Amino acid sequence: MDDVFNVTYITLGGYAEMGKYRYFYFCIMFTVYILTICFNCTIVYLISIHKNLHEPMYIFIAALLLNSIVYNTAMYPKLLSDFLSEKQIISYSTCLFQYFVYYTLSATDFFLLSAMSYDRYVAICKPLRYPTIMRNSTVRVMLLLAWLVPACEMAISVTLVTMSKLCHFTFTAFFCNNSVYRLFCESSGALAVFDVLALLNMALFPLLFILFTYTRILIISYRSGRNVRKKAAQTCLPHLIVLFCFSSLCAYDVIIIQLGSNLHFMMTLQAFFYYPLLNPVIYGLKVKEISKHLKKLFFQAKVM
């Protein structure tokens, strides 16, 4: 505690597990950060300049990648600086900001993946009604809700966290997620109840909705001809891969407080190493129209 400025500082103890390898991890993380920003920005740029990509499916993909850009921009600079610092500390207010950004943008990913699944459901199961259902106004409302609802819920969560008294000022983590609960003198009943409700609203219900829509798509595709099955596979497989990986990381984060520090260390690195690069790679290679424009872009760059 800094008595002069009345600022509370938290020590991030997760870096102690890296020992002498922290510079090695810094190089890897810095490379991943640069590649992630470049890959995501490239695909968002392609979607923005090509009119044939100004369709709901591609708009949702652009929103998902833009969400990843914001997430990485908010999280990586502090993470990278801590790799090079002798002592890894963070002010409690900054820690709460990280907590807010981390869970808000993670929940937004679930909402955007839900919007994608609904878009694919309408396109494959109700193709004749697609233009009337997925209008521009509908897409704008879905995008607004995807960012607004998680932000409002997490604002309430942060408010409840600030009401909890701190008795500890060190926890084993690399950044501020639900590990901050270890800092409290005693568990908060109100926060625990709200976290369960938030988990249902921002993760479980969207996940169940996604599984329902893709189940319907699978049933309709199975009953239809070969062309419909091929279209469903081409457009839905990238979303399902991203959903599986993202859901696995979220499931880990929910139970993180019960895990040992070594497993915590490895899984956190998995989250920061692989997932940020997964979205642009999957959508860039597996979505036909995006892949086509991506190849043209690299061909032009090679010629120049």
Tell me the CB-side half-sphere exposure of residue 146, using CA atoms within 13 A: 24
Confidence (pLDDT) at 61 = 92
**Cβ 67 vs Cβ 108: under 8 Å:** yes
List the beta bridge partners of residue 11: 89, 170
Confidence (pLDDT) at 43 = 92
Q: Which residues of 275-301 are buried (b: 16+ CB within 10 A; e: fewer)?
A: bbbbbbebbbebbeebeebbeeeeeee
Q: Measure the CA–CA gap between 159 and 150, rounded to whole angstroms.
A: 14
Domains of the chain: 9-303 (1.20.1070.10)
Q: Using a cut of 0.95, tell me whether the model's pTM lies above it.
A: no
Per-10-residue mean pLDDT, the chain, length 304: 60 72 83 90 92 91 92 86 84 90 90 92 88 93 94 92 84 78 81 87 90 87 74 75 76 60 56 70 80 78 58
Confidence (pLDDT) at 266 = 56
Confidence (pLDDT) at 253 = 65
Q: Measure the CA–CA gap between 285 and 304, rounded to whole angstroms.
A: 23
Any residues with CB less than 8 A from the CB of 84 and at least 6 apart, and which? 22, 23, 26
Q: Measure the CA–CA gap between 271 and 277, rounded to whole angstroms.
A: 10
Q: Which residues of 151-188 are buried (b: 16+ CB within 10 A; e: fewer)?
A: bebbeebbeebeebeeeeeebbbbbbbbbbbebeeeeb
